[in-house]
Amino acid sequence: MTVNFAILGIYWHSNTTVLAGDAYHQYVAFHALFSSILHHGSGFFYSFTSGLGLNFLSFSAYYLGSFFMPITYFFNASNMPDALYLLTLLKFGCIGLSSFIALKNMYSKLSNWLVLSLSGAYALMSFLVNQSEIIMWLDVFIWIPLILWGLHSLMDTQKRTLYFVSLALLFIQNYYFGFMMAIFLTGYFFVRMTFDGWSFRKLLDFAITSLLAGLASLIMILPMYLDLKANGEAFTPVTSLWTDKSWYLDIFSKNFVASYDTTQYGAVPSIYVGILTLFLAILFFATKSIRLRTKIAFFLLLSFIIASFYLRALDLFWQGMHTPNMFLHRYSFVFSILVVIMAAETLTRLAEIRLRWLLSLSFLTCTAFVATVLSKHYNYVKSLNSTLTLLFGIAYLVLLVASRKKWLSAKQFYIFVSLFMFSELAINAYYQLNGISDEWHYSSRASYDNNTKKIMPAAEKIAKDDQTDFSRMDETQPDTANDGMKYGYNSLSQFSSVRNRKSSSTLNLLGFRSDGTNLNLRYPLNTVLMDSIFDIRYNLNSNEPAKYGFEPTSLPNLTKNTAALPPAIFVANGYSDVKLKKKAIIANQTAFVNALSGTSSQFFKQFYTDKETTNAAITGGNGRVTLTQKNAAEISLSYTVTAPAKSQSYLKFADATYQNTDAQYVKVTLSSGNATRTLFVNTYDTGSLINLGYFEKSTQVTVTLEFPQNRYVNFDTTEFWAMPVNTYNSAIAKLKSNPVTAKEVKNGLNLTVTAKTSGDLFITVPYDKGWSAKVDGKSVTVKQAQTGFMRVPVSKGQHKVQLRFVPQGLKAGSICFVIAIVLFTIYNKKRSRA
């Protein structure tokens, strides 16, 4: 891997980083946050750096379950790409080491050269290499060989400690892959039982040890499960019989050397572990000493896995009945594992393979590969793949025949096999990484550093200036949605599979984009009113017009919102939920703020165009507009409006769909007097209220929308809205009339409030049952407010409020962990004596 990365220009502190796809948008930020927690002791239960607040323990159970994480202590956001490079190489090295140790103990008769070759095939399987950007998956494959070795020991010698410990640690580190392995281990146990025959004692031993490992893992799994349950994660319904884009020869198409299609949607399962490894697995069925029942059992398990690639219900079953967001067929690695095991079983019996079986099975295998090429169904199977596969296939066949005919000594055979296998695996790994580079693009160091130099000083200044005062910052044009995690500032934006869906759904109705399954929560293109309500006290703004109330600071592009409210707002006489409607952002914001302030204000006023022109054909109806290109000129639409005085003005541009899915953005040009400003808005991941600026006097503004590289575009009828600042200031003043202060502490907040009457503290932090509250030292109930946020009742007067977070289920899970260890110790001793 080190050499292959170097060929791509990736090495320690290189100009090209290892950050591609999710590694750039997620994992570098997650590792930076972990490092920050290690340095500052802000707590491993909760973080305010993402989505207004995040259950960090549950988040870690999915994303950060690795014993290598403490290494991040020696890195920070600026050099974290090097940490991920180092960790990637360390993990691949440990995968190879653990598989070598496990295979050597499971198949002690095999030559070290052959064990090394098989461990190389396992460590460099395509599933691992072409998804290496998802660095946290790699840890799983360190444990899997140890689990299999432990299972063999449990069945063969009644030694169960390794199996119990390694399986429990897998579940704790990654419950998602743990679930898939649990399915595979159940099938593999029954398959391996056929070697010696049925044994109720072994079945009971396997079941009890596995269940105790599962019980121990509840220390992480129970809090995670309760978090998923609370946030409305739903099973994906089975709507079709077959998986998407599957075809008859998929198994062979992805076993060509250097075969890479995609890791996005429509991918064929990544199952390559080497040509010889696959062929040896096929030869497994030609061995003499393996009983027919065992061959049938292996065939059935292999068939079940292959059937899962095709049948939608089985495909979902492996993945917890939840459709993955790209990186499909995430269980396909079990096919590769089973192939490696079958290859190892064959190698221990290689002398049993008759020459006619060797040649006839070679012919059948070759026929299948030729049929795949001739089908012309797989555009990623090119002449290079065919040539490499043919050459290595011939080499392996010659070696097997030479071994069978005694033309080579055993040692010579082992060495040549190792040389050819590692050459093949290295070539395949290079093309897998090259596929990632073409599809996801490894980020340049210059790009990463430029964003760090822009954002990190702002984050450091806020941390220094607001040491005793809680605040949030967001960017009008962010680098990623997880910049808050990366640079250590409290943020609204988020991109994560672990999220609070209730709060995100409510924020979506209030104009912060988070549709679908709420994987994304985006800050850009919303109103100043929402900035103040959700304590967006700072903006990094290098492209948008000025926002009312946001004053310059000593840093370029960093502005401070003087009207920002704390994360807890006192609501006189208590808060009552209001009904928020879809596609009614302006009305929703008005109703929400009125409910908080106890007023009936109109915060926005619609104004209309003076002039409208376009070079496109206009059609539409039912509140939608379609612009169709007339000639070679790019589609353009211009409005001339008079922005009202003493108002922040917005253009509502919502729900756009594009002919060209690779150009889903609009170029916005704002002209006022002699000033012109150009914005590029990616409308698929932003809000819908384009900031036109604040105007002291009524001002004529020309707004031009252009849609490059699109023949047509469709969107909701546009609207222009103004927010009169007098009404806004009055509401903010009223909300501040019962002063609240907030300070972040470890896994919580300390609040003070001076209330003129009894009421509720409405807390703009996502609701979670793990929160507890004390008012003046006395416990009070934290209640859910506005579907996803919190409220705490307080009486008239001055109060100190403590909010603390302990993940729901952690205490019960910890008890289960201790009980499991005790029970296993007792059970293991009794069975060992017996």
Task: Give pLDDT tens digits for 464-502.
Answer: 998 889 999 999 999 999 999 999 999 999 999 999 999
For the segment 396-412, the average pLDDT, to the nearest whole number, is: 95
For strands 712-716 and 624-628, give the pairing. antiparallel
pLDDT (0 to 100) of residue 374: 97
Query: Could you tell me the pLDDT band of residue 129, with boundaries at 50, 70 and 90?
Result: very high
pLDDT (0 to 100) of residue 578: 97
126 closest CA partner among 436, 576, 493: 436
Looking at 232-354, list the stretches that DSSP marks H as alpha helix, in order from N- to C-terminal side: 250-253, 275-283, 292-310, 312-318, 333-347
From residue 277, alpha-carbon distances to 341, 374, 460 in Å are: 9, 24, 53
For the segment 11-26, the average pLDDT, to the nearest whole number, is: 96
Phi/psi of residue 37, each to 5°?
-65, -40
Query: Could you tell me the pLDDT band of residue 673, with boundaries at 50, 70 and 90?
Result: confident
Which residues does 833 contact at the CB level (< 8 Å), separation at least 6? none
346 closest CA partner among 301, 396, 390, 295: 295
Which residues does 198 contact at the CB level (< 8 Å), separation at least 6? none
Lowest mean pLDDT among 160-164, 313-317, 322-326: 322-326
Q: Which residues of 650-664 are buried (b: 16+ CB within 10 A; e: fewer)?
A: bbbbbebebbeeeeb
pLDDT (0 to 100) of residue 494: 97
Question: Tokens 């001002």 sit at which residue?
Answer: 699
pLDDT (0 to 100) of residue 684: 87
CA angle 78, 484, 66 (to 5 degrees): 70
- Name the average pLDDT for the chain: 96
CB atoms inside a 10 Å sphere around CB 320:
16
Note the pLDDT tens digit of each residue in 574-619.
Answer: 999 999 999 999 999 999 999 999 999 999 999 999 999 999 999 9
Q: What is the token pair recorded at 231?
A: 């946030």
CA angle 463, 466, 471 (to 5 degrees): 90
For the segment 32-60, the average pLDDT, to the nearest whole number, is: 96
Note the pLDDT tens digit of each residue in 136-177.
Answer: 999 999 999 999 999 999 999 999 999 999 999 999 999 999
Domains in the chain, CATH or no CATH each? 109-440 (no CATH), 445-571 (no CATH), 605-731 (2.60.120.430), 734-806 (2.60.40.1180)
The one-character DSSP state at 109 is: T
Give the H or E element holding residue 473: strand 472-475
Query: Could you tell me the pLDDT band of residue 108, with boundaries at 50, 70 and 90?
Result: very high
The one-character DSSP state at 242 is: B
Query: Could you tell me the pLDDT band of residue 10, with boundaries at 50, 70 and 90?
Result: very high
- For CA atoms 766, 767, 769, 770, the dihedral sign is positive
To the nearest whole percent, how much of the chain has pLDDT over 70? Answer: 100
Question: Tokens 């207004």 sit at which residue?
Answer: 52
Note the pLDDT tens digit of each residue in 534-547.
Answer: 999 999 998 899 99
